[in-house]
Structure 1
Amino acid sequence: MINVYLDDYRPCPQGFVAAKTSEECILLLEAEKVDVISLDFDLGWGQPTGLKVVEHIVASGRYPRTIYIHTSSPSGRLQMHHLLIQHAPPEVVIHNRAMGDG
């Protein structure tokens, strides 16, 4: 079981596997069982966003046990959180904040 940190800019925390793009993150979600995932929204100019990863999680039903949304994009945070809250099973813990905040 692994922990995944999706971000193109911020350093990856210890104990996490870095994914710099939504494609890398989706490949990790498909290949491994993910315990904790932390998601950024903006992943570089013109690149697919973290919302693509959330859409994949919802479509595949492969939910990590815990999901953090650490993006600084207010609209991106709202979109990802709303989709997760609508579809995630009750046992999935969703934090609308970065790890360690609050």
Structure 2
Amino acid sequence: MINIFLDDLREPPEDFVLVKTVEECIEKLKNNQVDILSLDYDLGNGQLTGYDLVKWLVSNHLYPNVIILHSMSRSGRESMLALLEANKPGRVRVLNRGRVY
């Protein structure tokens, strides 16, 4: 099982695999069992966002055990959280910068 850190600027915590794009993250999700997925929202100009990845998770019913919303963008975190809260299975924990849902 792996932990994934989606971010275009920050370095990942220890024991996390860094991915910088939504496309790269989707490939890791498709090909690995994921325990923790930590998401940024803004991934650079012209790039898909963390919200786009959350839409993909919901559409494909492919969830890790824990999702951390580490983005500095409050509106981005809130939009990802709202979509996850409305759709995630009960077994999935979501942490919004420290708050558990």
Q: Alignment partner of 1:67: what SS? A: strand
Are 2:17 and 1:17 aligned? yes
**Which structure 1 residue ranges, 4+ long, deviate > 4 Å from structure 2?**
none
Q: TM-score, normalised by structure 2?
A: 0.94
> After superposition, where does 1:26-65 map in structure 2 within 5 Å?
26-65=26-65
Aligned residue pair count: 98
Structure 2 counterpart of 1:4 = 4
Are 2:87 and 1:84 aligned? no
Identity of aligned residues (%): 47
Once the two structures are superposed, residues 19-59 of structure 1 have per-residue CA deviations (whole angstroms, 9 ceiling, x without a partner) of: 10111111111111110010000000111101111011111
Unaligned stretches of 5+ residues in structure 1: none
Question: How big is the alpha-carbon RMSD for the aligned residues of Structure 1 and Structure 2?
Answer: 0.9
Whichever residue aligns with residue 30 of structure 1, its letter is K
* C-alpha distance in 2 between matches for 1:48 and 1:56: 11
Q: Alignment partner of 1:11: what SS? A: coil
* C-alpha distance in 1 between matches for 2:18 and 2:47: 17
Whichever residue aligns with residue 54 of structure 2, its letter is V
Unaligned stretches of 5+ residues in structure 2: none
Q: TM-score, normalised by structure 1?
A: 0.93
* C-alpha distance in 2 between matches for 1:54 and 1:73: 15
Measured after TM superposition, the shift of residue 74 of structure 1 is: 1.2
